[in-house]
Amino acid sequence: MDVSGFVTLEWVGEVYTTTVDAVDLIKPNLLWKPPVVLLNSVKTYKLIGHDTSVKIRYNFLTKQCQWMPWVVARAACSPDVKYYPFDKQSCAFRLSVWGYTNTEISLISNTNAWCFLYFEENGEWEISETSVETSVIDEFSVIDFKMKLTRRPLYHVINLIAPVLLLGALSACTFLLPAESGERIGFSVTCFLSYVVLLIMIMGFLPSSGLSLSYLSYYTFAMMIFSAAMSLMAIVTLRIYHKSEEHPMPGITIRFYRCFTCKKDNSDEIVELDGTEITAETEEKQITWKNIAVVIDKILFVAFLGGQIIFSVAYLVPIFIN
């Protein structure tokens, strides 16, 4: 996490000089300054303010020093992206005085919150809470500037979650395409590749860590598996559709067709078909492999669409209600 701002350091100092004014600005290289360092820095370990030319305000009567150096720091934080993009993150900037024990220099905060006098709103994150805590670790005085952030999810919902949901509905429509069109396989493979692209985009937004993956990553991966299964089943149904009529049809296939078309299996019963009375034996001759493929397409469309809806509710609802 990157942050830019300033810290206000106050301490009692000694200056062996005389001046007319009670308060004066002194160059930082002419006065002792506390060697404060950011302990959880990921960039470099530099003393805060020691490379700036910000002057120290010194009161010759009370010997109080006030210094307000600017800080541009990058701290290491452990992210929890389980509920991305509705996640909340916590990060702390831990400062300590380098080379001085707690008995020599003790850090004390005169406030329990951050000052946002010059703060500008961030488009992706919203600051929900800040705090300042002091402690002693291994005889060294430590002060933690903690911040809790809440992600603004609208951008990610529109650009990631909505496309995944729409793509799931489109993938199920693979079985609605006519088998004669020749576009079914190309359409299903395109949907599968689209899921791969979306998964890469989601992983690009998240930190590279195997400790915690988001529900959205699991969901997109599962939907990609759904899409791969639909591509495979599209190939199977096309093979059935284009199978030669000379190929004998098993009895179980005929019973399957009758079961899903609500036709009774009784050779002595008259069956009404297109206004013409025919026997069940004659009807068996009219059942073709194309009829079987059409029935399978309808079943697969309902099965995959229903399965994706149930799976989407099971995975996305915990994210939204977090």
Q: Are 26 and 56 in contact (CB under 8 A)?
A: yes
pLDDT at 108 over 60: yes
pLDDT exceeds cutoff 50 at 270: no
pLDDT level of residue 21 (50, 70, 90 thresholds): low
- Mean residue pLDDT of the chain comes to 81
> Which letter does DSSP use for residue 35 in this model?
-
Cβ atoms within 10 Å, residue 85: 22
Look at residue 10 and tell me whether its pLDDT is greater than 70.
Answer: yes
User: What residue ranges in 62-167 does DSSP mark as E strands?
Assistant: 64-67, 70-74, 88-97, 125-137, 140-151
* Domain 2-151 shares a fold with domain 154-245+288-320: no
Q: For domain 2-151, which CATH number applies: 3.40.225.10, 1.10.3720.10, 2.40.50.100, 2.70.170.10?
A: 2.70.170.10
| pLDDT bracket for residue 18 (50, 70, 90) | low
Model confidence at 32: pLDDT above 80: yes
CATH number of 154-245+288-320: 1.20.58.390
Q: How far is CA 107 from CA 93, 143, 310, in A?
A: 14, 7, 55
| Domains of the chain by residue range | 2-151, 154-245+288-320
Q: Tens of pLDDT along 164-206?
A: 888 888 888 888 888 887 788 888 888 888 888 888 887 777 7
Query: pLDDT for 70-90, tens place per residue?
Result: 888 888 888 888 888 888 889
pTM of the model: 0.69
Q: What is the pLDDT of residues 271-320, one digit of tens each?
A: 444 455 545 455 455 677 787 888 888 888 888 888 888 888 888 888 88
By CB atoms closer than 10 A (0-12, 13-18, 19+), residue 158 is exposed
The model's pLDDT over 122-168, given as tens digits with 9 standing for 90+, comes to 888 899 899 999 889 888 999 999 999 999 988 888 888 888 888 88
- pLDDT tens for each residue of 50-65: 777 888 888 878 888 8
Q: What is the pLDDT of residue 273?
A: 45
Q: Tens digits of per-residue pLDDT, 210-242?
A: 567 788 888 888 888 888 888 898 888 888 888
Q: State the pLDDT at residue 174.
A: 85
The encoded tokens of residue 47 equal 């003393």
Q: Bridge partners of 272?
A: 277
